[in-house]
Structure 1
Amino acid sequence: MTAVTAAGSIGRTGASRSGRRRRVALLPTVALVVGALYCIVPTLWILIASTKSPAELFSTETYLPSFSGGLAGNVRDLSSYGGGVYWHWMLNSFLYATIGGLAASTVSACAGYAIAKYAFRGRKLLFNAILAGVLLPQIVLAIPQYLLLSKVGLNDSYASIILPQLFNPYGIYLCRIYAAASVPDSVLEAGRMDGASEFRLFRSVGLRLMGPGLVTVFLLQFIVIWNNFLLPFVMVTSDDKFPLTVGLYSMLRHGADEAALYSLVITGTLLSVIPVIALFLSLQRYWRIDLVTGALK
């Protein structure tokens, strides 16, 4: 009888522990679902609201799409607004993000490779300073950068948005980590014994092996510049130099007096996501190559 009671007690204890484990395992799932909803619901609202005409935007159910051709009409109105200034803003954003992303990736590759592969005095101090730059909010640099560029007459220019993006502390940090992991010192030493210069080693060996990591740095910087609002808002005042973020904000301000512009701003926001999605999908194969390479190593 005692043995049966003990066995039953052990069984109940095991069941209670199994129940606790299931409850604990359920918490991350619930948190993940809540986080996903937090990200998806605003995007879903923009997608649905863009299908509605200005008359339907505030007179229909929030999460019920319209099938009366509102999206096509909104795109036509957006294209004709200000003589097609929206597409000029999108071109500006594309130029800022592409040129700034490529330039920042190049600077990050050079700096990260040098810190990872060369021993020089102050290297650790320099890397720690770069790590401190990662923790520094970029918003606090906008005003000093504006004052510096205005001193040399570069405010309200395309360069005023691209130049502050050249130094990316997080990109340098990633390149340093990636160069240390993917560029073997033995390969560099073999190249030096064959008479290759340091620049040729960096160009022919370092950049090729760091390629997948540089794609990641470029994409991250592209998205940062594409979504940047404060820096262009501070730096440029001419409408023809606005990126999409500042241009849509100016339309939203005018929408306070003209409610029809709300539909155009929503549609413009939806269209602004398409280039980022297309870039992400086109560069995804490089990450797959990187993962396979890491698995083989």
Structure 2
Amino acid sequence: MSTTSSIARPTSVSPSVPADGAGAPPTRRRRRSPGGGIGATFGVNGLLVLGSAYMVLPLLWLVFATTKDASALYGSDAFTWGGAFFANLERLLTEDDGIFLRWLGNSVLYAAVGAIVGGFVALMAGYAFDKFQFRGKGALYGAVLIGVLIPNTATVIPLYLLAASLGVTNTMWAVLIPAFCNPFSVYLARVFSAGYLPDETLEAARVDGAGPIRSFFSVGLPMLVPGFVTIALFQFVAVWNNFMLPLIMLQDRQLFPTSVGIFLWQSQVQQNPEYLPLVIAGSFLSVVPLVIAFVMLQRFWRSGLSAGSVK
């Protein structure tokens, strides 16, 4: 009788995996890029390119248009060079006995005085709102924030009525005095004061015997110089581009800034197309002081905008 003996073969034993998968080996997951993928990158960069083109193309067109005469402006492509650049500048500077140079000087005066004096007034107000405690502080600062929300064009007529009651219309003071008080500059000044000037520094100055005024001029003002430059730059651009206020306040052509003077020439283009090169050349020269101001003060401006970003 033969018996069949079976030999047990070794079999691979797989570890038991619980039903909930707690002991399962980790699986690799595909990592996603932090930006959300290629589509998001192209979308963001595309928006940046469109925004840059929106800001740069008008300036580029202005540069090309300054080199053309009246016939070339209407009959040539937008981004082609002309040969009348120096002729347009010469005519611009000699038109009406050089009235454009007077307008340019007025703009520089209005913007520079408004930026320096208005920036200093805003810096003192923002410092007071940040460091001092006084009755009605919240209500006054709320009024400043409301003033930020009101557009400048809505205040032109009330300012004109106030200037007329004081008898300062058709004078430089009618343009300069409103530039000394800017609610947005006061708001920025308080932000800069909170970011640049620690309370401990002022407390140490008071312990050494410095009063509030000396603490501001000896300690606070030197530390707030980048913020002051930033506020002054914003003030300079705002006053330089101001159009409605001097248009309402001034009647004497000798007191016009470039914005109102160029508008005066623009209103005559339909009757005399030869004024169009003057308008374009004047617009080109009116941009140059702004570029110079930003290039010269760029270092302070960058540090001012980054106030409070690094603690």
Q: Secondary structure at the match of 2:81?
A: coil
Q: Which of 62, 70, 79 does residue 63 from structure 1 map onto?
A: 79
Listed one character per residue, the Cα deviations across residues 49-85 of structure 1 (whole Å, up to 9, x for unaligned) are: 100122322122221111x2x0100000001100000
Structure 1 residues without counterparts, runs of 5 or longer: 1-9
Matched, 1:38 2:54: yes
* Contact residue 195 and residue 307 of structure 2 kept, 8 A: no
Listed one character per residue, the Cα deviations across residues 157-195 of structure 1 (whole Å, up to 9, x for unaligned) are: 100001111111111111111112211222212222222
Greater Rg over alpha carbons, structure: 2
- Corresponding residue for residue 209 of structure 2: 195
- Corresponding residue for residue 25 of structure 1: 41
- Corresponding residue for residue 211 of structure 1: 225
1:178–1:256 distance in 2 versus 1, CA, 3 Å:
same
Q: Which of 139, 150, 154 does residue 153 from structure 2 map onto?
A: 139
- Corresponding residue for residue 3 of structure 2: none
1:186–1:271 distance in 2 versus 1, CA, 3 Å:
same
Aligned ranges for residues 216-295 of structure 1 at < 5 Å?
216-288=230-302
1:96–1:17 distance in 2 versus 1, CA, 3 Å:
closer
Q: Which of 164, 176, 182 does residue 190 from structure 2 map onto?
A: 176
Matched, 1:82 2:96: yes
Matched, 1:102 2:138: no
TM-score by length of 2: 0.86
- Corresponding residue for residue 7 of structure 1: none
Give the deviation of 1:25 after TM superposition. 2.7
Structure 2 residues without counterparts, runs of 5 or longer: 1-26
* Contact residue 229 and residue 304 of structure 2 kept, 8 A: no
User: 2: distance between equivalents of 1:160 and 1:240?
Assistant: 14
* Contact residue 195 and residue 308 of structure 2 kept, 8 A: no
Q: For 1:55, give the aligned amino acid.
A: S
User: 1: distance between equivalents of 2:239 and 2:121?
Assistant: 16
Give the deviation of 1:17 after TM superposition. 9.4
TM-score by length of 1: 0.90
Q: For 2:87, give the aligned amino acid.
A: G
Q: Secondary structure at the match of 1:83?
A: coil
Q: Which has the higher helix share?
A: 1
* Contact residue 230 and residue 304 of structure 2 kept, 8 A: no
Give the deviation of 1:155 after TM superposition. 0.7
Q: For 1:260, give the aligned amino acid.
A: E
1:175–1:58 distance in 2 versus 1, CA, 3 Å:
same
User: 2: distance between equivalents of 1:75 and 1:276?
Assistant: 18
Give the deviation of 1:18 after TM superposition. 10
Aligned residues: 285
Give the deviation of 1:295 after TM superposition. 7.7
Give the deviation of 1:287 after TM superposition. 3.4
Listed one character per residue, the Cα deviations across residues 113-170 of structure 1 (whole Å, up to 9, x for unaligned) are: 0010011122122212211111111110000000110011111110000111111111
1:40–1:237 distance in 2 versus 1, CA, 3 Å:
same
Q: Secondary structure at the match of 2:78?
A: coil
Q: Secondary structure at the match of 2:273?
A: coil
User: 2: distance between equivalents of 1:156 and 1:84?
Assistant: 21
Q: For 2:62, give the aligned amino acid.
A: I
Q: Which moved more, 1:199-208 or 1:177-186?
A: 177-186
Give the deviation of 1:21 after TM superposition. 2.6
- Corresponding residue for residue 129 of structure 2: 115
Q: Which moved more, 1:184-193 or 1:197-206?
A: 184-193
Q: CA RMSD in A?
A: 2.4
User: 1: distance between equivalents of 2:201 and 2:76?
Assistant: 65
Q: Secondary structure at the match of 1:82?
A: coil
User: 2: distance between equivalents of 1:190 and 1:17?
Assistant: 49
User: 1: distance between equivalents of 2:86 and 2:48?
Assistant: 35
User: 2: distance between equivalents of 1:292 and 1:122?
Assistant: 30
Q: Secondary structure at the match of 2:37?
A: helix
